Amino acid sequence: MRLRKLLPLCMGVAGALAFSSALYAADDALSLASNPNLWPAPAHDLNLTRHSNLTDINKSNVGKLQLAWDQSTGALRGQEGQPLVVNVDGTPMMFIFSAWPNIVQALDLSDPDNPKEVWNYVKKTDRDESAVPRACCDTVNRGGSYGNGKVVYQTLDGWLIALDAKTGKEDWVVKNAYPDHGEDGTPAPIIAEGRVFIGWGGAEFAARGNFTAYDLDTGKLLWRKFNNGPDSDIGITADTNKDNLRHDQTQNQGLTYPGDEWKRGGATVWGWYSYDPELHYVYYGTSNPGLWSPSYRCGATPPTQEACDSGKWDNKWSISIFARKAETGEVVWVFQEVPFDQWDYDGINEVILVDLPNVDGKPHKAIVQFARSGFAYVLDRETGELLRAHKYVTVNWAEKYDMKTDRPIKVAEHSPLDVGKTTQACPSAMGGKDQQPASVDPKDPTKFYVPTNNWCMTDAPQTRTSLQQGVVYVFANVFMYPEKPGVTGRLKKFDIITGKEDWDIPDPYPNWSGTLNTDGGLVFYGSLGGDFRAVDRDSGKILWQRKLGSGVIGAPITWKVNGVQYVSVLSGIGGWIGLPVTAGLDLNDKFGAIGATAMTKAAGLAMIPQGGMLSTFRVYQ
């Protein structure tokens, strides 16, 4: 790093900047992900494919997969992320991130069958325990990222921390989220171009969402952009959406909330982020607007379905996909999936980058999202043009998308609006899937491996009684129930162009785990019942499974040291779906945890033990 600091003196500013980019590229996920033996970022690569080229574990030998070792996370609940595997000064290392209180463990993998913990870290000063009851939903953590010898992650109470990967000592610490404002630090950052990109959650607590870039070397704030409010706050310019004129370019669309409601407007960024190194764009999705009782977000008099869905009250930019310039944060394009949301169909699910050779006769650099709304969106990632919007689960809130206007054709019968009036809709507020990530093989870019929820709901908007940030800001009674008794989750192989399934695997428990696909012909995933599985990518046949100590809500990874391939996965029930178990809620309260208690009772999740464990498997001959 001394060399880097001296370079501006002898190279000039332009030369130093060029060298800086090259230096960072040599030690972050952009280059490290080209080594299939490593797992340097949440999804392995910054395209979020969760794909591995490794083939040592394959369809012919996966039946011999056995447990190699377990490692406790030190926390009982909310294991929604995945570990990292990188080389640190020539030593293979694994980094494990726990749920609250957000412990980081560093394991030396030089002997990968017998890892040795060399350091651990937990922040002990200036902690804000009010984040625990405020966090929506549950005290989860989705992991960290690695770059330039640093491990970077965020705590539930909003501290963004960079640790020296070799020693575990703090390099820098900054405050990114504030629980008393309704903000909670559940997502994993990504690192690209020497920047750390991060958001936070809190739309259910009247927070106003933003997205931030920090300098990887120093922790200095480089830019912060909001997702609602005036154009200047959001970073919208005259060039935003210029390549897609179907999107309305009226100024200050982020103010399409009545009065000052945009100040509590939600649109938080608590999911997963991707990055395109050729375009230098960073991508993410935003959450629901704050306040589930939708008539308060409509300024029409009277607030009829037709008037509220006219476009004037779209609550922009909630439930939207953003493409921002990584250097400045300026908005290149933004696409709103569910204008004037009435169901809590967060848009935070992972935005996966693939190159499609032929969509209606043309190649496209694409972005794909399997959203809570139950639609699989395919957009051109350069322009934001909507290419496909297929239903991938049962959906009745909308007929389809109007491809001329990019808007859903809503069904009024299934659109909650009036306070006190109960309305039925599919999917439930937990969505066709929630944050649990899908995966894809870039060599087969139209076929995705998707964990799904198969639930519907009734929703009765309630009277608003508070405007205070940091206090529950929902005001809706939601009851969730299985679409089909006995089947609450499915794993699907889904074609994003045709909208057809190649196969699906039904499960009595919801699938809240991410998927991992490999060149060994396998898909790995887990169920909330604790079953960790390997599936034949071609046929959908379950080839192997093992029962873990708790439900799986994390995402599997694979790595290789000393010529041996391993698969690791976190277990530990939690998240919104597991909150009634981890918090010991009354399951007879069918509206508890915004409908999660009814789901827990119907799926039998109360019988799943808590736990926090990383389990690692290998083939034994």
Q: Left (φ > 0), alpha (ψ -120 to 50) or beta: where does 148 sit?
A: left
Q: Determine contact, residues 92/109, Cβ cutoff 8 Å.
A: yes
Q: Pairing relation of β-strands 557-561 and 398-402? A: unpaired
SS (H, E, C) 357-370: EEECCEEEEEEEEE
Print the SS3 string covering 303-355: CCHHHHCCCCCCCCCCCEEEEEECCCCCEEEEEECCCCCCCCCCCCCCCEEEE
Residue whose tokens read 């012919």: 60
Q: Is 70 a catalytic residue?
A: no
H-helix or E-strand containing 529?
Answer: none
Q: Is 288 a catalytic residue?
A: yes
Which residue from 495, 484, 465 is spatially nearest to 378, judged by alpha carbons?
Answer: 495
Q: Which residues of 468-480 are buried (b: 16+ CB within 10 A; e: fewer)?
A: ebbebbbbbbbbb
CB 573 within 8 A of CB 610: yes
Q: Tell how strand 51-52 and strand 516-518 pair up.
A: parallel
Distances 438 to 60, 166, 286, 349, 352 between C-alpha atoms, Å:
24, 32, 18, 9, 9
Q: Which of 344, 380, 385, 507 is catalytic?
A: 344
Alpha carbons 303 and 201: distance in angstroms, whole number? 29
Q: What angle do CA 107, 556, 177 make, to 5 degrees?
A: 75
| Annotated catalytic residue within 27, 28, 193, 204 | 204
Q: Are 233 and 208 in contact (CB under 8 A)?
A: no
Three-class SS of residue 6? helix
Residue 593 has which token pair?
A: 């945890």
Active site residue 28: no
Catalytic residue among 210, 241, 288, 511: 288
| Contact call for residues 513 and 491 (beta carbons, < 8 A) | no
Q: Please identify which residue in the block is written with the tokens 């992991």.
A: 143
How far, in Å, CA of 54 to CA of 356, rounded? Answer: 23
596-603 vs 575-582: helix axis angle to the nearest 10? 80
- Cross-strand bridge partners of residue 561: 564
Structure tokens at 494: 């889904």
Determine the straight-line distance between the first and last CA of the chain, rounded to whole angstroms.
45
Q: Given the structure tokens 């309630």, which residue do they identify?
A: 462
Helix (H, G, I), strand (E, B) or coil at 426: coil
How far apart, in whole angstroms, are the C-alpha atoms of residue 156 and residue 133?
Answer: 11
Q: Point out the residues that are catalytic.
A: 204, 288, 344
